[in-house]
Amino acid sequence: MGQTTARAHEPREPAPPGRRGPGPRWAGAAAAALLLPMASCAADPGTADTADLMSVVADAPEGPVSEWTGTAADFDGHPYVPDGVTVTAAYPEFEGAEGFSQGLSGHVDRRVGDFYGGSREPVSLDIDWEVTAAGDGVLGVRLVHTVEDLHGLRQGYATYWYDAETGLTRYSSELIAGREGLEQLNGIVADALADHPHAGADTLWPILSTYDSMGFNADGDLVVEFDDGHLSPVREGHPPDASPGRIGVVVDADEAAPLLSDLGERARAASALEEPDFAVPVPDAPNADRPAVPGEITAGEDVDCAAEGVRCVALTFDDGPAETTPHLLDLLAEEGVVATFFLNGDPALTRPAVIRRAYAEGHEIANHNDQHEHMRDLPVSALPRQVATVNAIVSRETGYRVTLFRPPFGQSSPEVLAEVGAQEMAQVVWNVDSEDWTEIGPNEIVERVTEQTARADRDAIVLLHDPLPATLAAVPELIGLLREDGYTFATTTQAIGDPVTGAAYPEGRNVPEAASGEPKA
């Protein structure tokens, strides 16, 4: 294959789930799995090169490293907790780095919540750990989570870093210097994976959840790894195939060096120490403000919809992501327009890479319930799962916490609104109905939207559906006419103006007992 500076690992088979108590510990199993042979473009197929693997300095409690362990009983405070699931979780605790313990605790708790809400028929979750670096006031911890559910067994990986200078728990993407550096890294990784047999086109985006596990090997190379199935292409009606297992890319130390942040440089040095140093100094700036995190995207352009003379319009698309959504994203990119996407559970499970793309391109991601149910007809006991599922999927795929919920058909109730508020969201319907769900043509869609938008009291929230070809055909003309009318395109959150948790919007459409008409929203 010739000389390369970024090498893509071939997949391995998933390891079996771990156990707590008597018998082998999962940390040891995870470490052993990483040592299985993985082919590299820089080596003959089937040969192992342990220098390509992320360094590990500890994978069991010893000396200054202790361990917190928990079960499902320790994670019962989530909005939706399925019955009969098994959870075993652990993370290390370091003397003098209590802030890191708190940070790891929060990340583990979020992972459990994403498992509860974002899995079909969940069976078990096991989270274990290993220390990837210790020295110079830097600690690195790699968490390995093994999920079993309706769709089988798969593993995921997330590596977190402690920076004693600030006392902050940092994401792996913070090893890279800013958003531009992460985009450059994404390009290097994309080139390395261009011919990979198990990496689908258009699955790789420079966002937090994609680059959530990075570290260094003994040679100082940057090791990037991806969850089982994260890079797999679409399978209609099914989550992407996780069977290829872990895929990793190794970026040569010299090529990685210009991309590293100050934290990244210190983490690389700590990873290369012959003897780990677990001594952690008191933070220099314990109350330091958290810096911007590469890969965390703020939706929308810089626009103030409340400013005098500004009229905003929010294009919202329900029921995706669908086969048509990438084309819609192309159209929006060509026009430089942001939108809000209200997702359903099964499409979100089938096309997670489309969610990642929409998030990476600055669109707002929102929740349209799991199974597109008439929520007023559901028992109250069914509401938590219907509300939680999309949030968990989006959290897992992007790192973003959803803040808007749209009930299918615009139908809500006091109980639905209460559940939406309990899950820390606001409820949003619309005040402009394109009626594209009635199977009208593109010209009629454009006419109805422009007429209703002109009559809106102020900012317009437009109901559209991205699975409908006629809607996509209408989008370019619709954008052009709205621009001619002086409208500024915004996200739904911007058009509303900081929606309040538990409230219903838009004003005048916030009666939760009913909605006008019954569109296929």
Give me the active site residues, please. Answer: 318, 465
User: Measured between alpha carbons, how far is 290 from 169 in angstroms, rounded to an integer?
Assistant: 9
Six token digits for residue 13: 């088979």
* Whether the Cβ atoms of residue 463 and residue 457 lie closer than 8 Å to each other: no
Query: Of 321, 313, 420, 431, which Cα lies nearest the Cα of 365?
Result: 321
SS3 category, 224: strand
CA angle 70, 71, 74 (to 5 degrees): 75
CA angle 250, 255, 260 (to 5 degrees): 90
Rg (CA), the chain: 24
Q: What single-letter amino acid sits at 394?
A: V
Output phi, psi for 460, to 5 deg.
-105, 135
Task: Identify the helix (H) or strand (E) that includes residue 231.
Answer: none
For the packed helices 98-118 and 383-398, what is the interaxial angle rounded to 10 degrees?
120
SS3 category, 332: helix
Six token digits for residue 28: 């040891």
Half-sphere exposure of 418 toward its Cβ, with a 13 Å CA cutoff?
Answer: 8
Distances (CA, A) of 170 to 140, 487, 498: 9, 40, 27
User: Measured between alpha carbons, how far is 494 from 297 in angstroms, rounded to an integer?
Assistant: 15
Query: Of 428, 426, 402, which Cα lies nearest the Cα of 503?
Result: 426
SS3 category, 156: strand
For the packed helices 442-455 and 469-484, what is the interaxial angle rounded to 10 degrees?
40
**From start to end of 310-375, where are the E strands?**
311-320, 340-343, 364-367
User: Measured between alpha carbons, how far is 23 from 242 in angstroms, rounded to an integer?
Assistant: 27
State the CB neighbour count (10 A cutoff) for residue 502. 16
Six token digits for residue 423: 């899950």
User: Measured between alpha carbons, how far is 51 from 263 in angstroms, rounded to an integer?
Assistant: 22
DSSP-assigned beta bridge partners for residue 341:
317, 365
SS3 category, 486: coil
Six token digits for residue 69: 């362990």
DSSP-assigned beta bridge partners for residue 460:
313
State the CB neighbour count (10 A cutoff) for residue 333. 14
State the CB neighbour count (10 A cutoff) for residue 61. 15
